[in-house]
Structures are given as structure tokens and as C-alpha cells.
Amino acid sequence: MSSSHSGRSAFERLRARLDERPHACEECGFVDDAGEWEAVTTGATVEYRRECPSCGTEHLRQYRL
Ligand SMILES: [Zn+2]
């Protein structure tokens, strides 16, 4: 847990981690391997959101930068 000013690379590392495997919807189990996480930064945290194309459930992952 070291803090650095390389927020950009941390940002990209998190996205790479999310893209590592196809996202399976927690509600309906639909595997969406074409969709993308939408990143929203809010200062110290970054949120990744995506919506299941099958059931419309919004998924959220939040990380600290
Ligand atoms: Zn779903």
C-alpha cells in the first residue's frame, strides 16, 4: 500500500484487471464479453460501471486510486 503520483497507471491496471475475464451478470448469469466498463473518477476513487444487456442490472466496482 504505497501512495504514488502514478494514478494514471493504477487506473489502467485496474481496467486491465476488470477486462481479464468476461463479465458474468450476478443477477441473470449472462456473460457479456463484448461490453466495456465505463470508468468514472471521483477524486480519490474510481468507479467502473456496466449494465447487463440482458436484464439491465447495473454493476459497480469501486477502487481507491
Ligand atoms: Zn443480467
- Report pLDDT digits (tens) over 12-55: 888 888 888 888 999 999 998 888 899 999 889 999 999 999 99
31, amino acid identity:
V
Q: What integer pLDDT is reported at residue 7 of this predicted model?
A: 60
Between CA 11 and CA 26 the distance in angstroms is: 24
| pTM of the entire predicted model | 0.71
Between CA 26 and CA 57 the distance in angstroms is: 9
On whether residue 28 sits in a domain, the answer given is: yes
On whether residue 52 sits in a domain, the answer given is: yes
On whether residue 41 sits in a domain, the answer given is: yes
Domains held by the chain: number: 1
Neighbouring residues of the ion ligand 1, judged by CB less than 5 Å: 25, 27-28, 30, 52, 54-55, 57
Place of cell 497507471: 9
Query: Ligand 1 center to residue 14 CA distance, Å?
Result: 22
The domain of 41 spans 22-64
